[in-house]
Amino acid sequence: LDTTRGTLIGDGLTVGLNAIRQQREEGVAPAGALLLSDGVDTGSAVSPHAAAVRAKNMGVPVYTVVVGQVSGQGAADAETLQDVATTSGGEAFTAETADELTSRFAAIGSRLSVDLDVPGTATPLVVAAIALVVLAGLLAIFIPR
């Protein structure tokens, strides 16, 4: 994907699913996706719902986190991310503060390690990945654009 202003939720999820498909061709089977967004898709070629249907068909649950306020002027589109999560077999979360974001990542990490049957040897990698995503989320919240 090329970087631009806005969020291409469906296209981004499609890129992730393509990577999962490639890994599965190489023998790596369990997978889940984590989608952080304000939920506003700004023009994906693949709709978020269509990407979620593909994820479901691949057996890849998509866990979504709405980052930002869910009510009021300029509110995040929690409905789109709820649809993606529900359709794919994942779960939707909201994070209006940095503390909530940290809490959501801990919950998702626990869920993924159980749902995907992550072996004990992979636990440090899962923890590191979650830590990096938390850091990215915090930077997105605290660094003005």
| pLDDT per residue as tens digits for the range 82-130 | 999 999 999 898 888 888 888 887 777 776 665 555 555 555 555 556 5
Q: Distance (Å, rounded) from C-alpha 112 to C-alpha 120?
A: 13
Q: Distance (Å, rounded) from C-alpha 3 to C-alpha 111?
A: 30
Instruction: Judge whether residue 72 has pLDDT over 70.
Output: yes
**Tokens 């970087």 sit at which residue?**
3
0.95 exceeded by the pTM? no
Write the pLDDT tens digit of every residue in 38-67: 888 888 899 999 999 999 999 999 999 888
